[in-house]
Amino acid sequence: MKLCFTVDGAPVGWQRTGFRPAGGMQTRFFTPKAVKEYQDKIWLAARLAGFRGDPWTGPVAVRVVIYLADARRRDVDNYAKQVLDALNSKPARPARGKSPARPPVPRLFKDDSQVVDLHLLKRIDRAQPRLEVELEQVPLDDPKQVELALGGKRA
């Protein structure tokens, strides 16, 4: 199975989780709002592209093309992390006594470790910044792919 989609607008890369004091010696960790919102945008684009059903269980190939509006320095791997986290993350946990932040939805794949082939390209498109994503389940008929998918163990 293959899934391709585009997320229009300026791409948002993964950002380090923040933290703030929670009283006493406790600390609360949080994901920045912009990161959560962009992950939701990525997930919605995948759903609109036709993803339905159970998470993929086998090896996955991922290709991400990041089109930025300018040439400022940015780490390309943060965009890949954002895409992978959005497609395999569990729904946000609600705060006590509150309704869920978003409805429970299935993940596209179970874990990042299923990604056996990852291609990242960074381009400049001042007129139309966007993120293009292509995901494909890798067939296990090639012995080299089987070995790679199993972490170096022979089937």
Give, in words, the CATH class of 2-15+28-149: alpha beta
Q: What whole-number percentage of the chain has pLDDT above 70?
A: 72
Taking only the tens place, the pLDDT of each residue in 131-153 is 999 999 988 776 666 566 555 55
Taking only the tens place, the pLDDT of each residue in 76-94 is 999 999 999 889 865 555 4
Residues 6+ apart with CB under 8 A from 9: 41, 129, 130
- For residues 135-149, one letter each, b for 16 or more C-beta atoms within 10 angstroms of the residue's C-beta and e for the rest, the string is bbbbeeeeeebbeeb
3-state secondary structure of 14: coil
- The average confidence (pLDDT) of the chain is 81
CA nearest neighbour of 116 among 78, 141, 77, 152 = 152
Phi, psi of 24, rounded to the nearest 5 degrees: 65, -135
CA nearest neighbour of 13 among 66, 70, 89 = 66
Taking only the tens place, the pLDDT of each residue in 6-26 is 999 999 988 767 666 666 667
Phi, psi of 130, rounded to the nearest 5 degrees: -170, 175
Interhelix angle 76-88/33-48, rounded to 10 degrees, is: 60
Task: Give strand ranges (E) for 26-145.
Answer: 27-30, 60-68, 115-124, 130-137
